[in-house]
Structure 1
Amino acid sequence: MSFLLKNSTSEPNQPSSPSPDELQDKTIQVRELLGSLTDEMPAFLSDTTIRRFLRARHWSTQQATKALKETVKWRRQYRPERICWDDIAEKEWEARRAYIADYLDNTGRRVLISKPAIKAKVSGKEQIKYFVYILESLAMNSADEQEDVTWLLDFRGWAISSTPLSTTRESIHIVQNYYPGMMAVAILSNTPRIFESFWKIAKQFLDAKLNEKVKFLYTNKLESHNMLSEMFDMDKLETAFGGRNTHSFDFDNYADRMRTGDLARGASSLQTDINMVPEHH
């Protein structure tokens, strides 16, 4: 069970983690390869971001640089740094569908909660915009380049109509390509039988590294309950995941936290029209 608590280790046949001095050298090399881009996006292209991309690309400076250049191109178009809490449509409803918890897991990782069974009231474009906003908040308000997010998804009551495949595919693409190395584990809880056919298609969009981080748990099974007890303070974990936290979602408190986070990362509400990222084939 402890595999969910351990920090990520090198995959078989993959380069081992570099020493601190080697990592610093690789970070400098990537900066040199990026050239003037580091002046264009200094907040994004921090050492923390570069090291996260290096880790996600198996410590290859060439692959990390390529991925960062692709991400810079996407950020020029999408401008995620400009998305603020007050730009989000149907804020109160969307926040109940996905939110950053106000507690950490037992290893100090931040916790992202998603409830895909709650059907969205906004378009796929707006759902993606809110998802990017959450990822940007997690990435830019972190000084840690480690995989420091535990993602909990509650699928109880889920139906195929709840989550369009196109939105799922785009979300996976964004996580893997533009925010790599953030997710330590994604726990899919209480998936109904009908989810199996959906997952057979959706998992084809996952790369091998992210696929290994996806775990299926069922709160009515003792093994799953024990695993969650090892990972979380059960008094803080929501009842939807087998915890003892019965408090209802405090929207006003969450809104205040997100606005504070916006200020910390220097975001400002411009009400900019965000274009949907082109579909990937």
Structure 2
Amino acid sequence: MASSIPQFQTLITIEEFRELINKHFEKQISEGEIYDARDIERFNKIDEYTLMFIQHGQFATSFNQDRALRIFDQSMSWRKQHNVYDISTSAFPAEYFDRNIIYYKNYDKFNHPILHFVIRNLKKGHEDNEAIKRFITYNFEKHIRESPGKHIVVLFDMSGAGIGNLDYDLVKFIIASMQNYYPGLLAYLLMFNMPFLLSAAWKLIRTWMSNEADRYIKFTDTKSITDYISPDQLPKQMGGTADES
């Protein structure tokens, strides 16, 4: 049920966490070769952004310092390596915004923006996977710039999808982004209308996820998805009444 969505804990203050990070990674930060100075500046100035790192993966009653340090390092080094701070709309052809594969539309019952992934619109083996990954990153990055600290719902629309649509490389990247590169971004993930044909594929995908993944993943159909999203926020093919223009 919708009431079982993860709750995010703040077990250390923003000031304490920033002090911990800046002391532990003093060498990496001062040299500026592994981390982007602009990312560090945002971390040190925007409280909501810092909270995303604090709250990520904190399921116990005490702060998991080792995990928090590891995730910070993975996220910041990945961002520098892929020049994420400079990503913009100009990097993508217009078709990326028109194909309705990855896009934000409407909100769930908790006012989280919904990021749609329409799997049937992907063609495995015919896509430029690196460009698609970059576009996924753009959508994550766009949100945290506009609304740092605000969680999103990722909605995997699996209806009408088959083996020819499910690209493991892209799925792995999305999982890595949620678990390592964009800590604290995901409220929960909705799997909508997964075909029985893909159930074996899902068993493999599940092995790439953390032990806590079950807290975040909700399997839904046209009836149960309304536990999370009101009909007026859902397109008609999902049983909703939302304007699809």
Amino acid in the other structure paired with 2:228: M
Distance change in 2, residues 1:236/1:39 (3 Å): closer
CA distance in 2, matches of 1:47, 1:2: 28
1:140 to 138, 141, 145: 145
C-alpha deviations, 1:184-231, integer Å up to 9, x for none? 111111111111011011111111223321111111x4xx15xx1x43
Asked whether the equivalents of residues 71 and 177 of structure 1 are also in contact (C-alpha less than 8 Å), the reply is yes
Distance change in 2, residues 1:196/1:39 (3 Å): closer
Count of residue pairs the alignment pairs up: 229
CA distance in 2, matches of 1:81, 1:122: 24
TM-score normalised by L of structure 1: 0.72
Asked whether the equivalents of residues 187 and 214 of structure 1 are also in contact (C-alpha less than 8 Å), the reply is yes
2:79 to 72, 75, 80: 75
What does residue 7 of structure 2 align with?
Answer: 8
What does residue 56 of structure 1 align with?
Answer: 56
What does residue 32 of structure 1 align with?
Answer: 23
2:156 is the counterpart of 1:153: yes
CA distance in 1, matches of 2:228, 2:173: 29
1:92 to 89, 97, 101: 97
Asked whether the equivalents of residues 14 and 50 of structure 2 are also in contact (C-alpha less than 8 Å), the reply is no
CA distance in 1, matches of 2:119, 2:178: 17
2:132 is the counterpart of 1:127: yes
C-alpha deviations, 1:219-274, integer Å up to 9, x for none? 1x4xx15xx1x4334223212322111423xxxxxxxxxxxxxxxxxxxxxxxxxx
SS at match of 1:117: helix
SS at match of 1:43: helix
CA distance in 1, matches of 2:36, 2:183: 22
CA distance in 1, matches of 2:161, 2:20: 46
CA distance in 2, matches of 1:2, 1:156: 21
What does residue 236 of structure 1 align with?
Answer: 233
Q: How is 1:110-125 mapped onto 2 (pairs within 5 angstroms)?
A: 110-120=113-123, 122-125=127-130
SS at match of 1:215: strand
Asked whether the equivalents of residues 30 and 61 of structure 1 are also in contact (C-alpha less than 8 Å), the reply is no
Asked whether the equivalents of residues 108 and 233 of structure 2 are also in contact (C-alpha less than 8 Å), the reply is no
Asked whether the equivalents of residues 52 and 182 of structure 1 are also in contact (C-alpha less than 8 Å), the reply is yes
Distance change in 2, residues 1:24/1:242 (3 Å): farther
TM-score normalised by L of structure 2: 0.82
Amino acid in the other structure paired with 2:145: M
Amino acid in the other structure paired with 2:229: F
Amino acid in the other structure paired with 2:50: I
Amino acid in the other structure paired with 1:247: E
What does residue 264 of structure 1 align with?
Answer: none
Amino acid in the other structure paired with 2:24: L
CA positional deviation for 1:44: 5.0
What does residue 209 of structure 1 align with?
Answer: 212
Asked whether the equivalents of residues 153 and 187 of structure 1 are also in contact (C-alpha less than 8 Å), the reply is yes
Gaps of 5+ in 2: 30-34
SS at match of 1:151: strand
2:186 to 183, 188, 204: 183
Asked whether the equivalents of residues 154 and 240 of structure 1 are also in contact (C-alpha less than 8 Å), the reply is no
Distance change in 2, residues 1:176/1:115 (3 Å): same
Asked whether the equivalents of residues 169 and 205 of structure 1 are also in contact (C-alpha less than 8 Å), the reply is yes
Question: Identity over the aligned pairs, expressed in percent?
Answer: 19
